[in-house]
Structure 1
Amino acid sequence: MNQWSLQLQQKLELAKSLYRDFRLYDFGSYALNRLTPKQGYRVQNNIPYGLKARHRLDLYRTSAPRQQRPLIVFVHGGAWMHGDKKDYGFIGEAFAKEGFDVAVINYHLAPEYIFPASIDDLSLALNYLTQSQHKLQIEVENVVLMGHSAGAFNVMSALYHPTPYQLQVKENIRAIVGLAGPYHFDYKGDPICADAFDQSVPYQQVMPYYFVEHNQVKHYLFTADKDNIVGYSNSEDLDRRLKASGNHSQLIQIPRVGHITMIGSVSSLFSRFFKTKAEIMRVLDEISPR
């Protein structure tokens, strides 16, 4: 077997392994959501933020006394080809019970919709939340963008994009929390996500790493110490680039979690066994108005 064939076989085996992992995650998130407590918060499901079928978000409203906590906008992962907001009720519950309102959004998926469709959707959702804040009874003076995996890429790309977005809430974005995000990699021929990008466009014209600009947003780049999907260099490179531009950035490594288990460890069912949620709460407390 020549070197090229060996590399191809290795990529195919990795893709099959990840497909199995995502299927297991679907089952796990279903179980998590079934077991997630339903008290201490309210949910408004399937709020339309645009005209298309996937232009929907779920809004988790805290029942705790309001303390001017930021609005969290969460974007799921899944290699831009997989995932649904309904699988992340445990995320809404985890932070709504801590006093935050949480918007969990859907976006259009590859291969039918490729980059930058998912970022376009996020931009649309953010503008909708801003325009509808009184109707929805939310506050957008302080916003935290949070995403896992592909979702972390999406929230970072909302600010750092080849064609900057007109975000009405841009000046109110206090922080970005990226969980295991792919911010600087070559997707050409990638067995996991090649179909999510135009293969004729070089990654240097897409990755948020190349479009960093100076601002006052605080960046928290979480990595999983057992991540076998997204390389640590993605966060390390972006951290270096952000700091070189005079931006705040902090690398936070979470022990004993992998790429997919990192997000599951946020669930209130498991958060006491892992550092993920505690570290996110530390970040949120750090940027919350006093």
Structure 2
Amino acid sequence: MFNNLNKIVGLANQKFTVLKEYSENFRLYNVGSFAVNRLVSNKGFKKIIDIPYGENERHKFDLYRTEVPKPERPLIVFVHGGAWNAGDKKDYHFLGHAFVTEGYDVAIINYRLAPENIFPAYVDDLVLALEYLTDQQTEFGIECKNIILLGHSAGAFNIMSAIYYPHHMGGYKQQENIKAIIGLAGPYHFDYKDDPLCANAFDQSVSYKQVMPYYFVEKNHIHHYLLMADRDQIVADWNAVDLNEKLNEQQNHSKIIVVPKTGHITIMGSVSSLFSPFFQTKAEILSAIDEALNKV
């Protein structure tokens, strides 16, 4: 009995340690992103904040319009992480700046959060936002024929699930608009049962095999890039490895890219123009987009 009790206590301590580490890192990241956002420039592009795409308070996005667009006029749609419990678009000005100055229009999306909202609410929000952007593209002076979906952590799950969605539900229908999906440290194939970080973001009575995008992959034209942090202590590497294998089985384009010197949180912060000279993250994303648009 004591052995079983020790195992239970050990697992509880392990879950607490993971949760504590993630929470502390995420708080530090928020503080850091606030500082970085104040340091990057607001010049050379147009920024429109808090554009509503639905009726909920979280149904808003910020739009960055480039002054020198790429010939294909691509649109990057970014979805933040936060274990589906936290995160806000206002913390990612550095990301908008990093890519709008490279000739890309950028939309940074907010979505409904757990525990008040569980799967598939936050994926439905992304689908709604994509449909709104497509319908209103002329009004905003953007184009939606070359969309790049970019997401970090939980956001990487959301962008993948917007395409690979349980068949009885839905998903983004105009997939011809999506040229690339780029996930940073994404969880695509894991059992969320009693997970210390995100159990409250999923219906615990529903098997992960009825939810994870891994189980709903279909053949399509989209380029997939699964970026992994080489020091990730939060999301296991099998998430990207398994999804990459499943995508290849369907003869879809897919690449795993391991980014050196980054962890689960820092892979996101390293995109900032202040830090990108010291990390490969931004360069890998730009290379992936170029490959997807030009079919290199």
Q: TM-score range by the shorter chain?
A: over 0.9
Runs of 4+ in 1 over 6 A off after TM superposition: none
CA–CA distance in 2 between the matches of 1:224 and 1:13?
20
Among 35, 38, 41, the alignment partner of 1:31 is 35
Partner of 1:275: 280
The 8 Å contact of residues 242 and 248 in structure 1, kept in 2 or not, is answered as yes
Among 77, 85, 93, the alignment partner of 1:81 is 85
Partner of 2:125: 121
Cα displacement string for residues 166-197 of structure 1 (whole angstroms, at most 9, x for unaligned residues): 53532110110000000000000000000101
SS in 2 for 1:82: coil
The 8 Å contact of residues 164 and 171 in structure 2, kept in 1 or not, is answered as no
TM-score, normalization by structure 1 = 0.98
Partner of 1:169: 174
What amino acid does structure 2 have at the position aligned with 1:183? Y
- Please report how far the alpha carbon of residue 217 of structure 1 lies from its aligned counterpart in structure 2 after TM superposition: 0.5
**In the alignment, structure 1 residue 226 sits paired with structure 2 residue 231:** yes
Cα displacement string for residues 131-172 of structure 1 (whole angstroms, at most 9, x for unaligned residues): 001111100111110100000000000010113535353211
Among 48, 54, 73, the alignment partner of 2:52 is 48
Deviates more, 1:280-289 or 1:131-140: 280-289
CA–CA distance in 2 between the matches of 1:166 and 1:95?
26
Percent of aligned pairs with the same residue? 58
Instruction: List aligned pairs for 1:138-149, cutoff 5 A.
Output: 138-149=142-153
CA–CA distance in 2 between the matches of 1:166 and 1:272?
36
Among 107, 110, 115, the alignment partner of 1:106 is 110
What amino acid does structure 2 have at the position aligned with 1:35? L
The 8 Å contact of residues 80 and 110 in structure 1, kept in 2 or not, is answered as yes
- Please report how far the alpha carbon of residue 289 of structure 1 lies from its aligned counterpart in structure 2 after TM superposition: 4.8
Does the C-alpha gap of structure 1 residues 36 and 202 become closer, same or farther in structure 2, counting only changes over 3 Å? same
Deviates more, 1:266-275 or 1:56-65: 56-65
Partner of 2:269: 264
Partner of 1:136: 140
Partner of 2:290: 285
The 8 Å contact of residues 65 and 105 in structure 2, kept in 1 or not, is answered as yes
Q: Can you give the 5+ residue segments of structure 2 that lack an aligned partner in the other structure?
A: none
Among 209, 215, 231, the alignment partner of 1:210 is 215
The 8 Å contact of residues 223 and 253 in structure 1, kept in 2 or not, is answered as yes
Partner of 1:9: 13
Among 245, 252, 255, the alignment partner of 1:247 is 252
Cα displacement string for residues 15-72 of structure 1 (whole angstroms, at most 9, x for unaligned residues): 1111111111110111111111112211000011011111000000111144223110
**In the alignment, structure 1 residue 58 sits paired with structure 2 residue 62:** yes
How many pairs were matched up?
290
**In the alignment, structure 1 residue 179 sits paired with structure 2 residue 179:** no
Cα displacement string for residues 191-234 of structure 1 (whole angstroms, at most 9, x for unaligned residues): 00001011111100000000000101010000000000000100
What amino acid does structure 1 have at the position aligned with 2:189? H
- Please report how far the alpha carbon of residue 277 of structure 1 lies from its aligned counterpart in structure 2 after TM superposition: 0.3
SS in 1 for 2:138: helix
CA–CA distance in 1 between the matches of 2:189 and 2:173?
27
**In the alignment, structure 1 residue 196 sits paired with structure 2 residue 201:** yes
Q: CA RMSD in A?
A: 1.2
Partner of 1:95: 99
TM-score, normalization by structure 2 = 0.96
CA–CA distance in 1 between the matches of 2:69 and 2:157?
32
SS in 2 for 1:73: strand
- Please report how far the alpha carbon of residue 288 of structure 1 lies from its aligned counterpart in structure 2 after TM superposition: 2.6
CA–CA distance in 2 between the matches of 1:264 and 1:166?
29
The 8 Å contact of residues 228 and 256 in structure 2, kept in 1 or not, is answered as yes
